[in-house]
């Protein structure tokens, strides 16, 4: 009870801050049910501060005032335009996870506690932080053997604060689903649950190190992309040590040109690398904004910060590849069929009608360069179609779509005339040829044979378990099911309680009848 009240109090504070900073101006009244929700919105807007600025400034001010966990929530919602809408998602994508750094002395104590040795025994130099975010901050350091490293240190008490705030967010999502069918369709509680899992993993820096290690292994043979490798001996739950990246920030176009790098080639490389990771490996960096991307001296793209990663299974990868190829070749019927084959669209809908809707999305983007295409508009249309055809939200696909928009934005920044679809086509065709062609079918058949062999090998154990279960059922049928003393006592208490309520109901009925009789006299 106390926990619920505390969550409601935190939600009330969130509502007040959002209203005070003017963030509720982003809510469209017509999207709310008539009656109390719309009246509440009007009342809440009465307490707005004057001169609160544009929509992005309002959201940034409100979420920053609410604290690190809400900034992280805002950044996460930027990946879910299906939930908050493209306009709000665009504003949230500008939200910078930049916090005031905590004291270096605290960071030193955290490192020493995590590694179990004095800081001087680990690093010859440990400098003040160069970047601070909601969960951690990064310090440059130099090891005794001369290696320059990036040391990420978790904020003090961050787990406790996030646990409290995320619990309140979960309660708010439950309330939204109770009162809004659209919130239920969009699985708002699932959105918060995904955030909770993501943040929980992000607050164990060993898991981020594992993500970087896996991505490094997957891209070891790629000539145009790499990630910094973690130092496992110096990594713990609260500390991550990885190689320092000497490179040019992707957003510094003047420095990239001055260093002699080919911006057009980099733009093509960023998109094709992302698609390779997604289709080939099923594991991709889901936070590839310019602040996390560098260009090294050899012209390779270096991605840092593996806190947010995405993963796709074989089914989702095939879905993505066929969807992209369908758009590239304008085969909208096949795009529609893939949705139905994957079970994403309920079978009672028409494939032809869905293909017609997909055509409305695909036709406007063909034969145009990236500077003429609004991927935000494309995604908006896709999400509208999702609602029209009762397609349930697929979290991993929505994150993928949002990351594709961010990656395309980086590519367009490097090359304003980049055509994402023509750039994507070679990677998509190679994957489909390799995995859906003769070789891929033979490999699928081989995996199927192995699975069947495994099932056959387990058949004797399965039969034995079935025989034992059948013997137990026959014995129970003959002798009856035995209950222990605790079960019998529990049944007795339940029966007694039911009798008490039954008697109370009878007395209540009798009283009402008596009242009716006397009232009639």
Residue 403 sits at the vertex; the CA angle it makes with 294 and 430, to the nearest 5 degrees, is 90
d(CA 422, CA 401) in angstroms, rounded, equals 17
The answer on 227 and 270 residing in a single domain is: no
Indicate the pairing of strand 309-311 with strand 293-295: unpaired
According to DSSP, the residues that pair with 125 across neighbouring strands are 142
The answer on 93 and 54 residing in a single domain is: yes
Quick check: is 285 in a domain?
yes
| Four-residue CA torsion sign, 166, 172, 173, 174 | positive
Quick check: is 111 in a domain?
yes
Alpha carbon of residue 288 to chain centroid: 14
Under 8 Å between Cβ of 150 and 245 = yes
The answer on 253 and 239 residing in a single domain is: no
Residue 224 is classified by DSSP as: S
Under 8 Å between Cβ of 321 and 432 = yes
- Three-class secondary structure of residue 32 per DSSP: coil
Quick check: is 507 in a domain?
no
Half-sphere exposure of 200 (CA within 13 A, CB side): 10
Q: In which band, very low, low, confident or very high, does the pLDDT at 2 lie, cut at 50, 70 and 90?
A: low
Under 8 Å between Cβ of 397 and 280 = no
Instruction: Provide mean pLDDT across the span 316-336.
Output: 87
Per-residue pLDDT at 115 exceeds 50? yes
The answer on 199 and 240 residing in a single domain is: yes
The answer on 395 and 284 residing in a single domain is: yes
- Render pLDDT for 192-250 as a digit per residue (tens, 0 to 9): 887 788 788 888 999 999 999 999 999 999 999 999 999 999 999 999 999 999 999 99
Nearest to 23 by CA among 72, 69, 70: 70
Note the pTM of the prediction, 2 decimals: 0.71
Quick check: is 474 in a domain?
no
d(CA 23, CA 47) in angstroms, rounded, equals 11
Within 10 Å of residue 110's Cβ, how many Cβ atoms? 19
Residue 252: exposed, middle, or buried by beta-carbon count in 10 A (0-12, 13-18, 19+)?
A: middle
The answer on 353 and 318 residing in a single domain is: yes
- Render pLDDT for 478-519 as a digit per residue (tens, 0 to 9): 665 555 555 556 555 655 555 554 554 444 444 444 444 444
The answer on 130 and 119 residing in a single domain is: yes
Instruction: Provide mean pLDDT across the span 90-114.
Output: 85
CATH number at residue 230: 3.30.200.20
Under 8 Å between Cβ of 282 and 310 = no
d(CA 399, CA 310) in angstroms, rounded, equals 7
Per-residue pLDDT at 520 exceeds 50? no
d(CA 49, CA 15) in angstroms, rounded, equals 14
The answer on 338 and 297 residing in a single domain is: yes
Quick check: is 304 in a domain?
yes
The answer on 317 and 443 residing in a single domain is: yes
Distant-in-sequence contacts of 79-84, Cβ < 8 A, 24+ apart: 79/286, 79/398, 79/399, 79/402, 79/403, 80/191, 80/398, 80/399, 80/402, 81/376, 81/379, 81/380, 81/383, 81/398, 81/402, 82/186, 82/383, 82/386, 82/393, 82/398, 83/186, 83/188, 83/191, 83/393
Per-residue pLDDT at 70 exceeds 70? yes
- The DSSP element (H or E) to which 311 belongs, if any, is strand 309-311
According to DSSP, the residues that pair with 140 across neighbouring strands are 150
pLDDT above 70: percentage of residues in the chain: 71
d(CA 291, CA 286) in angstroms, rounded, equals 13
Range of the domain at 180: 98-244
Contacts of 284 (CB under 8 A, 6+ apart): 274, 277, 278, 309, 310, 311, 312, 400, 403
**What pLDDT, on a 0 to 100 scale, did the predictor assign at position 512?**
45
**What pLDDT, on a 0 to 100 scale, did the predictor assign at position 369?**
60
Quick check: is 481 in a domain?
no
The answer on 47 and 171 residing in a single domain is: no
- The DSSP element (H or E) to which 201 belongs, if any, is helix 188-202
d(CA 410, CA 87) in angstroms, rounded, equals 19
Total structural domains in the chain? 3
The answer on 228 and 262 residing in a single domain is: no
Quick check: is 498 in a domain?
no
**What pLDDT, on a 0 to 100 scale, did the predictor assign at position 379?**
62
- Render pLDDT for 48-63 as a digit per residue (tens, 0 to 9): 777 666 666 677 777 7
The answer on 343 and 315 residing in a single domain is: yes
Catalytic option among 91, 97, 238, 287: 287
> Where is the domain boundary, 209, 227, 244?
244
- Render pLDDT for 146-165 as a digit per residue (tens, 0 to 9): 999 999 999 998 888 888 88
> Where is the domain boundary, 193, 215, 244?
244
d(CA 225, CA 295) in angstroms, rounded, equals 9
pLDDT above 90: percentage of residues in the chain: 31
Residue 224 known to be catalytic: no
Contacts of 268 (CB under 8 A, 6+ apart): 411, 415, 418, 423
Quick check: is 500 in a domain?
no
Q: Which of 20-34, 412-426, 479-493 has the highest mean pLDDT?
A: 412-426
d(CA 71, CA 357) in angstroms, rounded, equals 36
Alpha carbon of residue 30 to chain centroid: 28
> Where is the domain boundary, 55, 82, 97?
97
- Render pLDDT for 355-391 as a digit per residue (tens, 0 to 9): 998 888 888 877 666 566 666 566 666 666 766 787 7
Q: Is 390 left (phi over 0), alpha (psi -120 to 50) or beta?
A: left
Higher pLDDT, 475 or 118: 118
**What pLDDT, on a 0 to 100 scale, did the predictor assign at position 508?**
47
- Render pLDDT for 434-455 as a digit per residue (tens, 0 to 9): 887 665 555 555 555 555 555 5
Nearest to 361 by CA among 343, 346, 379: 379
**What pLDDT, on a 0 to 100 scale, did the predictor assign at position 244?**
95
For the residues of 44-104, what is the DSSP string, one character each? HGGGPPSS--SHHHHHHHHHHHH-HHHHHHHHHHTT-HHHH-HHHHHHHHT-----PPPPH
**What pLDDT, on a 0 to 100 scale, did the predictor assign at position 210?**
95
Contacts of 351 (CB under 8 A, 6+ apart): 333, 336, 337, 340
d(CA 508, CA 513) in angstroms, rounded, equals 9
């Amino acid at each position: 009870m106390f926990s619920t009240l505390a969550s409601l109090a935190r939600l009330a504070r969130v509502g007040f801050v959002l209203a005070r900073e003017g963030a509720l101006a982003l809510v469209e009244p017509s999207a709310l049910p008539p009656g109390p929700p719309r009246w509440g919105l009007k009342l809440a807007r009465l307490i707005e501060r004057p001169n609160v600025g544009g929509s992005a400034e309002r959201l940034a001010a409100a979420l920053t005032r609410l604290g690190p966990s809400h900034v992280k929530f805002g950044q996460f919602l930027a990946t879910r335009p299906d939930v908050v809408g493209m306009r709000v998602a665009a504003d949230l994508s500008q939200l910078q996870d930049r916090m005031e750094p905590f004291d270096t002395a605290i960071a030193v104590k955290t490192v020493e506690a995590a590694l179990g040795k004095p800081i001087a025994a680990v690093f010859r130099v440990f400098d003040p932080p160069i970047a601070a975010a909601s969960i951690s901050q990064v310090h440059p350091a130099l090891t005794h053997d001369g290696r320059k490293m990036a040391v990420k240190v978790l904020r003090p008490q961050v787990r406790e604060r996030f646990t409290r705030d995320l619990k309140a967010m979960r309660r708010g999502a439950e309330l939204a689903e109770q009162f809004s069918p659209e919130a239920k369709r969009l699985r708002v509680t699932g959105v918060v649950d995904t955030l909770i899992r993501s943040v929980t993993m992000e607050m164990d820096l060993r898991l981020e190190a594992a993500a970087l290690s896996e991505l490094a292994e997957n891209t070891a043979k790629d000539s145009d992309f790499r990630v910094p490798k973690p130092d496992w001996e110096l990594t713990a739950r609260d500390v991550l040590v990885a190689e320092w990246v000497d490179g040019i920030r992707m957003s510094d176009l003047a420095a990239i040109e001055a260093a002699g790098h080919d911006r057009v080639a980099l733009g093509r490389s960023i998109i094709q690398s992302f698609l390779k990771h997604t289709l080939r490996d099923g594991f991709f960096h889901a936070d590839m904004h310019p602040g996390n991307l560098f260009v090294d001296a050899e012209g390779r793209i270096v991605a840092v910060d593996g806190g947010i990663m995405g993963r796709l299974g074989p089914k989702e990868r095939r879905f993505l590849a066929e969807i992209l190829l369908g758009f590239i070749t304008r085969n909208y019927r096949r795009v529609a069929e893939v949705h139905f084959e994957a079970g994403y669209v309920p079978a009672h809908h028409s494939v032809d009608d869905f293909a017609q809707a997909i055509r409305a999305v695909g036709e406007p983007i063909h034969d145009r360069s990236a500077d003429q295409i609004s991927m935000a508009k494309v995604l908006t249309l896709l999400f509208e179609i999702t609602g029209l055809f009762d397609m349930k939200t697929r979290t991993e696909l929505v994150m993928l779509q949002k990351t594709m928009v961010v990656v395309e934005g980086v590519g367009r920044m490097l090359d304003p005339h980049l055509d994402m679809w023509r750039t994507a086509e070679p990677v998509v065709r190679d994957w489909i040829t390799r995995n859906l062609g003769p070789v891929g079918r033979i490999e699928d058949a081989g995996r199927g044979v192995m699975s069947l062999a495994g099932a056959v090998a387990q058949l004797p154990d399965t039969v034995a378990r079935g025989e034992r279960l059948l013997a137990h059922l026959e014995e129970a049928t003959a002798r009856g099911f035995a209950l222990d003393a605790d079960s019998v006592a529990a049944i007795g208490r339940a029966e007694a309680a039911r009798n008490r309520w039954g008697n109370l109901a009878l007395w209540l009925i009798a009283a009402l009848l008596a009242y009716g009789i006397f009232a009639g006299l």
